[in-house]
Structure 1
Amino acid sequence: MAVLLVAAYVFITISLLFVIRLYTVVKTGQKHRPGDRGPVAVLVVAGSGGHTTEILRLMECLSSAYTPRHYVIADTDRMSEEKICTFENSKQHSGSRSQFTICRIPRSREVHQSWSSSAVSTLNALRYSLPLVFRVRPDMVLCNGPGTCVPLCVAALLLGILGMKKVLIVYVESICRVQTLSLTGKILYPLSDYFFVQWSSLRDKYPKSIFLGRIV
């Protein structure tokens, strides 16, 4: 019984320290903005279909300070890589120096996949996300809703929790979300440093969010 009590005490203590550290990491990220300290290495999470189209429209608005750019797509995504390469090649033709990579990780959740199997596939995606994020060490993660961004953002938070590097998490909710957040948005709302919505109705429901009108 005494051993169980000690183990429980240690577990509670570690859990409290983890929560405190997580809170500190999330809060300290709001003291500076991307680009204030020179070039920004950005990890861009591209989903399939409309998610990729929207995220590339966002990338068009970013200055050349956001470099290098590390795109992450799901291993079952057959279209996003071509779109990304086309976009980056257009930047080269416009005179901007293009520094980018494209990485693949397992998809966290397929459309209509059950919740129980989604938990397993998300853990599998996290297994690939951790070494990727720890190797790239981005200054910022930019995402707009695909489930693949959840394990990547968790890995980015872990960098800060371990005291290795604070990574800003910037989330832009899809324009098709008018009244409610997506599941990914609900998960990342308390964890993101900057959370953008594109409808005032969402801003009214989620006070932490930032409303700038239609971004994409």
Structure 2
Amino acid sequence: MDMLLLGVFFGCTLIALCIIVQLVVVLRKGSKCKPGTKGSVCVLVVAGSGGHTTEILRLVGSLSQSYRPRHYVIADTDKMSEDKIHTFESAQSDRTNRPQYTLHRIPRSREVRQSWSSSVVSTLYALFYSVPLVFRLRPDVVLCNGPGTCVPLCAAGLLLGILGLKRVVLVYVESICRVETLSLSGKILYHLADYFFVQWSSLKNKYPKAIYMGRIV
């Protein structure tokens, strides 16, 4: 009986998420926004363990000084990204003398090889922390490249716009290691991101909405 109730719960949760995704897609059709035309751009950067953080920092390093302040968000179980971010920003401050960044942690939404059923619960738990954080920071742009942590943060950014509080632009860059298929985060955000970049032409062929510009990072 407990297993049946658990299955019903997960089924209802997935249905609700699908409805929300469809609603967001409809609401966002035709919307236009050009951040940065009126000054600096506040960026929320989602970092992830392993190569995700290295790639996203290379991408941030290519941005102009208009993209600040930068608010980095990492998973609470990520032990390596914090040092990389501090090292990167220290180098940036040497050039600008104006270090403008913050670092925040939220629960990880999905571990490697975590089951789908448990991922739903952990993602909702991460969303519980993501919404107040995003509502407080109110970024102009959310920049991410694949870690599961980015899904609840992007959802919180969408909610900010749906409520009419602020329009948040979602920019997703699929990791360079994704050659033939999108990551799970990519498959979700492909339908929601304002700008969805891939780094291999094979992915552009499969996902026509994606923007292919060769290797970005």
TM-score bucket (shorter structure): 0.7 to 0.9
Separation (CA, whole Å) in 2 of partners of 1:17 and 1:179: 28
Separation (CA, whole Å) in 2 of partners of 1:144 and 1:24: 24
For residue 67 of structure 2, give the secondary structure of its aligned residue in structure 1: coil
For residue 196 of structure 2, give the secondary structure of its aligned residue in structure 1: strand
Residue 144 of structure 2 corresponds to residue 143 of structure 1 = yes
Aligned residues: 200
Separation (CA, whole Å) in 1 of partners of 2:21 and 2:60: 34
Separation (CA, whole Å) in 1 of partners of 2:91 and 2:82: 14
Which has the higher Rg, Structure 1 or Structure 2?
Answer: 1
For residue 171 of structure 1, give the secondary structure of its aligned residue in structure 2: strand
- What does residue 27 of structure 1 align with? 30
Separation (CA, whole Å) in 2 of partners of 1:71 and 1:147: 15
Separation (CA, whole Å) in 2 of partners of 1:99 and 1:35: 17
For residue 27 of structure 1, give the secondary structure of its aligned residue in structure 2: coil
- What does residue 114 of structure 1 align with? 115
Q: CA deviation at 1:99?
A: 0.5
- What does residue 182 of structure 2 align with? 181
Separation (CA, whole Å) in 2 of partners of 1:73 and 1:98: 19
Q: CA deviation at 1:114?
A: 1.2
Separation (CA, whole Å) in 2 of partners of 1:52 and 1:16: 32
CA contact (8 A) 1:55 1:143 kept: yes
CA spacing shift, 1:18–1:81, aligned 2, 3 Å: closer
For residue 76 of structure 1, what is the amino acid of its counterpart? T
Q: Deviations over 1:129-164 (max 9, x none)?
A: 000000000000000000000000000000111111
TM-score by length of 1: 0.88
- List 4+ stretches of structure 1 deviating above 6 A: 15-18
Residue 156 of structure 2 corresponds to residue 155 of structure 1 = yes
Separation (CA, whole Å) in 2 of partners of 1:16 and 1:209: 23
What CA RMSD, in Å, does the superposition of the two structures yield over aligned residues?
A: 1.8
CA contact (8 A) 1:45 1:142 kept: yes
Gaps of 5+ in 2: 1-17
Separation (CA, whole Å) in 1 of partners of 2:199 and 2:168: 24
Q: Deviations over 1:176-203 (max 9, x none)?
A: 1111111110000010000000011111
Segment of structure 1 superposing worse, 200-209 or 188-197: 200-209
Gaps of 5+ in 1: 1-14
CA contact (8 A) 2:24 2:158 kept: no
CA spacing shift, 1:178–1:71, aligned 2, 3 Å: same
